[in-house]
């Protein structure tokens, strides 16, 4: 995740308090591929009849996860709150001293869920919303804006932190300012913006919905201005590590400042799929991250988590770039050792064709990076 607000403003609101300080790494636990919505780009291809992890395997998988002492487990899906014995999952995670948060569509949150979240000390829930109006249901088919807002109000009133998970598409990018206004209005202090990933149903919709790298770069340039204005909202981007370098360069006043920022943040920002993040599916298959779900690392029914993580996994990294060590590219998109959606490359093509005005030293630096 790229902490845009932290890079631009040097401060965060709630992001630092999510997860435990003594643990290491993040595990995404997709307990179910069942969901009543049919988002056109869903990375896990979830449906109303999707597979759910058996109760027996939930116990086994949580015990395995506890062996690696993660900083955080993200309970995701599908819609995790539709899992029939979700309280049992909460209880198991609690019994194994695992700090967890929830990723939800926000469509099925009831008073019972709120009581449960409070009982198990779940202090953060990420809710998906692309467009801050009823048009959201055009892309997130089956969503209901009014119901989502009602859920947000209920959670915030009960002092549970809410974050918005928004996927960047040709349609959602134009409503970004309204999304900030919605966050301010309802007391939401975290906004995570996901670049579209070609996985699950996203494989088919990717080319239609994804803005070009140049447009996404212009979006980042505008986002930076909003981030400076809305300082009480932590903004992060996901699935495009080059955003880190793009934002670091756009927000720096000198080459020295750019290099300092890279040095401070790169370990947190470069692609760490299969290293400090893994994703587990309902059939107990382990993948390198939520979106990178075509090549499995192993299966927890047959192997221990330590054995799976000790295997060497061949990533497709963006090794043609001079800044490769600080970014690596998003391995899902890398083709012939280059991440074709790199926003830093987008900044380079915009700058050299004078479509975006940036300082001369930045253009010179971009030319040095991409001259080959
Ligand atoms: S070219 Fe690749 S490694 Fe370099 S900044 Fe872009 S995505 Fe990152
Ligand atoms: S492959 Fe890497 S950069 Fe891409 S979504 Fe997964 S962890 Fe993030």
Contact 242, 329 (CB under 8 A): yes
Question: Could you tell me if the CB of 318 is within 6 A of ligand 1?
Answer: yes
**Mind listing the pLDDT tens digit for each residue in 68-97?**
999 999 999 899 999 999 999 999 999 999
Q: Quick count: other Cβ atoms within 10 Å of Cβ 179?
A: 23
What is the widest separation between alpha-carbon atoms in the chain? 61
pLDDT at 199: 94
d(CA 103, CA 347): 32
Question: Could you tell me if the CB of 242 is within 6 A of ligand 1?
Answer: yes
Distance 317 CA to ligand 2 centre (A): 10
d(CA 233, CA 273): 26
Taking the CA of 287 as reference, the closest ligand is 2
Distance 367 CA to ligand 1 centre (A): 13
**Mind listing the pLDDT tens digit for each residue in 227-282?**
999 999 999 999 999 999 999 999 999 999 999 999 999 999 999 999 899 999 99
Taking the CA of 318 as reference, the closest ligand is 1
Mean pLDDT of 120-124: 93
d(CA 164, CA 152): 10
Number of C-alpha atoms within 13 angstroms, CB side, residue 36? 11
Mean pLDDT of 134-142: 93
Question: Could you tell me if the CB of 53 is within 6 A of ligand 1?
Answer: no
Taking the CA of 242 as reference, the closest ligand is 1
Given pLDDT bands bounded at 50, 70 and 90, which one contains residue 372?
A: low
Question: Could you tell me if the CB of 278 is within 6 A of ligand 2?
Answer: no
Q: What atom of ligand 2 comes closest to residue 329's alpha carbon?
A: 3
Write down the pTM of the prediction: 0.96
Residue among 272, 289, 333, 343 to mutate when testing ligand 2 (max atoms within 8 A of CB): 289
CA torsion sign for 115, 116, 121, 123 is negative
**Mind listing the pLDDT tens digit for each residue in 155-189?**
999 999 999 999 999 999 999 999 999 999 999 99
Of 230, 218, 143, nearest to 181 by C-alpha is 230
Q: Which amino acid residue places its CA nearest to atom 7 of ligand 1? A: 329
Q: What are φ and ψ of residue 7, in 5° steps?
A: -70, -45
58's tokens: 């939930």
d(CA 160, CA 327): 33
Buried b (16+ CB within 10 A) or exposed e, 95-128: ebebbbbbbbbbbebeeebbebbeeeebebbbbb
d(CA 356, CA 362): 12
Q: What atom of ligand 2 comes closest to residue 271's alpha carbon?
A: 2
Given a cut of 90, is residue 223 above it in pLDDT? yes
**Mind listing the pLDDT tens digit for each residue in 18-41?**
777 788 899 999 999 999 999 999
Given a cut of 90, is residue 14 above it in pLDDT? no
Mean pLDDT of 192-220: 96
Q: Angle CA(23)–CA(27)–CA(29) in degrees, nearest 5?
A: 140
Q: Quick count: other Cβ atoms within 10 Å of Cβ 171?
A: 15
CA torsion sign for 317, 322, 327, 330 is negative
Given pLDDT bands bounded at 50, 70 and 90, which one contains residue 336?
A: confident
Residue among 3, 237, 271, 327 to mutate when testing ligand 2 (max atoms within 8 A of CB): 271
Given a cut of 80, is residue 17 above it in pLDDT? no
**Mind listing the pLDDT tens digit for each residue in 103-115?**
999 999 999 999 9
Long-range contact pairs involving 88-95 (C-beta distance under 8 Å, separation at least 24): 88/55, 88/58, 89/31, 89/58, 89/62, 90/116, 90/119, 90/120, 90/122, 91/120, 92/58, 92/59, 92/62, 93/62, 93/120, 94/120, 94/121
d(CA 71, CA 312): 22
What is the number of H-type helices and E-type strands within the chain? 15, 15
Q: Quick count: other Cβ atoms within 10 Å of Cβ 341?
A: 25
- Please give the mean pLDDT across all residues of the chain: 94
pLDDT at 45: 94
Of 196, 226, 244, nearest to 347 by C-alpha is 244
d(CA 188, CA 36): 25
pLDDT at 316: 85
Contact 143, 168 (CB under 8 A): no
Alpha helices (H) in 96-212, listed in sequence order: 111-119, 136-139, 145-157, 176-186, 202-209
Distance 343 CA to ligand 2 centre (A): 15
Q: What atom of ligand 2 comes closest to residue 331's alpha carbon?
A: 1
Q: What atom of ligand 1 comes closest to residue 240's alpha carbon?
A: 7
d(CA 271, CA 331): 8
User: Residue 146, SS3?
Assistant: helix
**Mind listing the pLDDT tens digit for each residue in 292-321?**
998 899 999 999 999 999 987 777 889 989
Distance 225 CA to ligand 1 centre (A): 23
């Amino acid at each position: 995740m790229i902490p845009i607000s932290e890079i631009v403003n040097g401060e965060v609101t709630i992001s630092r308090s999510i997860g435990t300080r003594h643990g290491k790494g993040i595990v995404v636990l997709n307990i179910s591929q069942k969901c009543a919505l049919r988002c056109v780009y869903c990375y896990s291809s979830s449906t109303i009849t999707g597979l759910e992890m058996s109760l027996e395997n939930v116990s086994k998988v949580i015990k395995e996860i506890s062996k690696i002492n993660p900083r955080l487990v993200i309970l995701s899906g599908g819609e995790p709150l539709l899992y029939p014995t979700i309280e049992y999952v909460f209880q198991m995670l609690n019994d194994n001293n695992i700090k967890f948060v929830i990723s939800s569509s926000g469509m099925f949150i009831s008073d019972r869920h709120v009581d449960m979240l409070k009982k198990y000390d779940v202090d953060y829930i990420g809710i998906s919303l692309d467009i801050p109006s009823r048009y959201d249901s055009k892309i997130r088919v089956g969503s209901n804006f009014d119901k989502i807002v009602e859920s947000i109000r209920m959670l915030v009133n009960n002092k549970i932190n809410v974050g918005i998970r928004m996927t960047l598409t040709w349609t959602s990018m134009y409503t970004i300012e309204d999304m900030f206004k919605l966050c301010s209005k309802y007391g939401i202090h975290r906004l995570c913006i996901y670049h579209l990933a070609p996985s699950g149903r996203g494989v088919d919709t990717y080319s239609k919905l994804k803005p070009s790298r140049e447009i996404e770069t212009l979006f980042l340039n505008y986002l930076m201005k909003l981030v400076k204005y809305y300082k009480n909202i932590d903004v992060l981007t996901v699935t495009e590590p080059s955003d880190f370098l793009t934002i670091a360069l756009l927000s720096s006043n000198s080459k020295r400042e750019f290099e300092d920022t890279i040095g401070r943040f790169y370990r947190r920002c470069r692609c760490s799929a299969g290293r400090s993040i893994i994703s587990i599916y309902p059939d107990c298959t382990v993948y390198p991250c939520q979106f990178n779900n075509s090549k499995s690392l192993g299966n927890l029914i047959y192997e221990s988590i330590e054995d799976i993580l000790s295997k060497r996994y061949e990533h497709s990294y963006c090794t043609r770039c001079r800044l490769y060590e600080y970014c690596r590219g998003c391995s899902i998109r890398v083709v012939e050792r280059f991440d074709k959606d790199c926003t830093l490359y987008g900044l380079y093509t915009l700058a050299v064709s004078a479509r975006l005005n940036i300082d001369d030293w930045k253009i010179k630096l971009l030319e040095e990076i991409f001259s080959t």
